[in-house]
Structure 1
Amino acid sequence: MLSPFGADKTMTAVLSNQADIGFMGSESSIYTYNEGANDYVVNFAQLTQRAGNFLVSREPIEDFSWEDLKGKSVLGGRKGGMPEMVFEYILKQNGIDPQKDLAIDQSIDFGSTAAAFSGGQGDFTVEFEPGATTLESSGKGYVVASLGKESGYVPYTAFSAKKSYIEKHPDVIQSFTNALQKGMDYVNSHTPEEISKVIQPQFKENDLDTITTIVSRYYEQKTWKEDLIFNQDSFELLQDILEDADELDSRTPYGDLVTTEFAKKAVK
């Protein structure tokens, strides 16, 4: 098992046959397809349907409005990355110009924004977990908005494999998808407290209360799907976001980059 950091590195591992299956943002499959890859990567199981990051303020804000960001500085993500594209998409949907109405700092490494914010940089920061909860528990930040709720049902992460691998090994893909669906069934039939106790050994750096807070936050906004079926409306929303960020020259066909065959069979 490889654990490369970032969708670009995961895609490279799959395309170079270092990995048979990749878990990454679905935008990577679109980029690769548009670059002309013959044996392109196909998404066969969608795991999350919400962006998993949150807007954190330095001060508590009651009745937060996106207008509150005007004239402020925000620690954002790298250009072309999904966290930043989703953030800017939300801003534009709320009448905010990302280039003119606020200052977005994209110079800080993805894993270092929470530390930079704690050190005094920025009025707001966009954080994944456990960064958002850690800032809150230390009294150095306050979650004021969920990008996942604001952006809608975006296919944020999915499992995928090269077209040729899926064609040659449908039994492996089906078995893998069946196992994933069992995990989804467990998540959707147990409480955040129960889930947290089961996964705690995988997150030894966090105590149970922190893990429970994080799982509850994701659970309440329906971050995880009930099934693994990658629907077309979500795929088109993803392309809307890519187009809005000027990262997509031409739209790609859903039928080429997504197969729902295995996910549908996995649903009991």
Structure 2
Amino acid sequence: MKGSRAMKRLACGAAGLMLVLALLPGCAGSTPATATAAGTTAAATPSVEPSAVKTTIRIASLKGPTTMGLVKLTSDAEAGQGKQDYEASMYGTPDEIVPQLMKGDVDVALLPANLASVLYNKLEATPGSQLEVAAINTLGMLEVLESGDTVKTIADLKGKTIYSTGKGASPEYVLDYLLKQNGLDPATDVSVEYKSEATEVAAVLASTPGAIGVLPQPYVTVLKAKSPAIRTALTLTDEWAKLTKDSQMVTGVLVVRRAFADANPAAFADFLTDYKASTEFTNTNPAQAAPLIAAVGIVPSAQVAEAAIPACNITYIVGAALKTTLSGYLKVLFAADPASVGGSLPGDDFYFGS
């Protein structure tokens, strides 16, 4: 059963995360958090006749909440209980996943929301590489952290150095948008130093008094648990809501290669059913999901994982709600900087099932 290899891949991909977390003062026993998106509606998974022979579905995900919502699916696959044959691999950055999507070596990927739009625009001319978004899997989970007490508003970031991850992805464009909307020029009024992974930002915050950084969950929960001097100065979801009441901040989405979905409709429908159940399991059974999250190395302990789950905004939004929510978010980014979504807004064929 190839599902057994899925968990091994996740665990191996997380080894680097475990090592860096161990370098944070006292973080060896902590775990990040994950939150449920309250009040969101999810359309039913399309009904398709089940396939008789299991199809191998190659899944690429990122360290953090998106994979925290995937662990029940991979655990069931390892036990031979998946509706299809799932091979899952976890990576530290989107840059490791993109080439595989372009070559067709991955069927399904969990990516930053704006990057999905960028790739849609980039890959439309590449046969077999066209992408569709099938689900929103995480909503806003970015926070501005400070080892101090000087930041109360976005305007207070003027003249500061901010450490962040996600250059070219949602963290960069959300931060730029919020800075501009609050009268700050991201190029001159602040200095943003981008790190390749969230664990690097966490390490700087843990070791540098007065440092300011942008981190996603579950790294926020891990860091604050072991470094009491670090506080949440701002929640970017709240700052977004103050400016754009008609849209939500979307962090992550699940994309599928159109050629794969078209060729394997029943298998992909089975995957969506299993994935929805997996996200619901993580949110509604945190005590049971936590050991699975720790076992694949996303966080260093089940205790930390359980504490983090409520803050990670793991969700499953599909169908009409997916299109409304994601298109609203992308429109805001596009108005602020067209490059943030790949130069143009995606067409209707960007949304699976449209």
What TM-score, normalized by structure 1, do the two folds share?
A: 0.80
Residue 25, structure 1, aligned to residue 120, structure 2:
no
User: 1:87 — aligned with what?
Assistant: 175
Q: Aligned to 1:74, which of 162, 172, 175?
A: 162
User: 1:11 — aligned with what?
Assistant: 98
Residue 215, structure 1, aligned to residue 309, structure 2:
yes
Q: Aligned to 2:348, which of 234, 248, 255?
A: 255
For the residue of structure 2 that corresponds to 1:183, the secondary structure is: helix
CA–CA separation in structure 2 for the residues paired with 1:195 and 1:90: 34
Contact 2:165 2:171 (C-alpha < 8 Å) held by counterparts: yes
Residue 169, structure 1, aligned to residue 257, structure 2:
no
Q: Match of 1:132, as an amino acid?
A: V
User: 1:98 — aligned with what?
Assistant: 186
Q: Aligned to 1:225, which of 296, 299, 315?
A: 315
Contact 1:2 1:19 (C-alpha < 8 Å) held by counterparts: no
Query: CA 1:252–1:205 in 2, change beyond 3 Å: closer, same or farther?
Result: closer
Contact 2:291 2:301 (C-alpha < 8 Å) held by counterparts: no
Q: Match of 1:184, as an amino acid?
A: T
Contact 2:132 2:257 (C-alpha < 8 Å) held by counterparts: yes
Q: Aligned to 2:228, which of 136, 139, 160?
A: 139
For the residue of structure 1 that corresponds to 2:148, the secondary structure is: coil
CA–CA separation in structure 2 for the residues paired with 1:187 and 1:150: 27
Deviation per CA, 1:210-237, whole angstroms, max 9, x where unpaired? 323322323xxxx233543422342232
Unaligned runs of 5+ in 2: 1-87, 242-247
CA–CA separation in structure 1 for the residues paired with 2:150 and 2:306: 24
Residue 48, structure 1, aligned to residue 48, structure 2:
no
User: 2:251 — aligned with what?
Assistant: 156
Query: CA 1:92–1:192 in 2, change beyond 3 Å: closer, same or farther?
Result: farther
Which segments of structure 1 move beyond 4 Å, counting only runs of 4 or more? 191-195
Query: CA 1:237–1:70 in 2, change beyond 3 Å: closer, same or farther?
Result: same
Query: CA 1:85–1:151 in 2, change beyond 3 Å: closer, same or farther?
Result: same
Q: Percent identity?
A: 17
Contact 2:136 2:250 (C-alpha < 8 Å) held by counterparts: yes
Residue 128, structure 1, aligned to residue 216, structure 2:
yes
User: 1:237 — aligned with what?
Assistant: 329
CA–CA separation in structure 2 for the residues paired with 1:186 and 1:235: 27
Please state which structure has a larger fraction of its residues in strand: 2
Query: CA 1:216–1:185 in 2, change beyond 3 Å: closer, same or farther?
Result: closer
Contact 2:133 2:253 (C-alpha < 8 Å) held by counterparts: yes
Report the Cα offset of residue 118 of structure 1: 2.4
CA RMSD of superposed structures (Å): 2.8
CA–CA separation in structure 2 for the residues paired with 1:122 and 1:77: 18
Report the Cα offset of residue 199 of structure 1: 3.8
Contact 2:148 2:210 (C-alpha < 8 Å) held by counterparts: no
CA–CA separation in structure 2 for the residues paired with 1:61 and 1:212: 31
CA–CA separation in structure 1 for the residues paired with 2:182 and 2:310: 27
CA–CA separation in structure 2 for the residues paired with 1:224 and 1:129: 10
User: 1:37 — aligned with what?
Assistant: 126
Aligned length: 253
Q: Match of 1:11, as an amino acid?
A: V
Query: CA 1:205–1:3 in 2, change beyond 3 Å: closer, same or farther?
Result: closer
Report the Cα offset of residue 202 of structure 1: 3.7
Query: CA 1:78–1:242 in 2, change beyond 3 Å: closer, same or farther?
Result: farther
Q: Match of 2:240, as an amino acid?
A: S
Contact 2:116 2:253 (C-alpha < 8 Å) held by counterparts: no
CA–CA separation in structure 2 for the residues paired with 1:44 and 1:172: 14
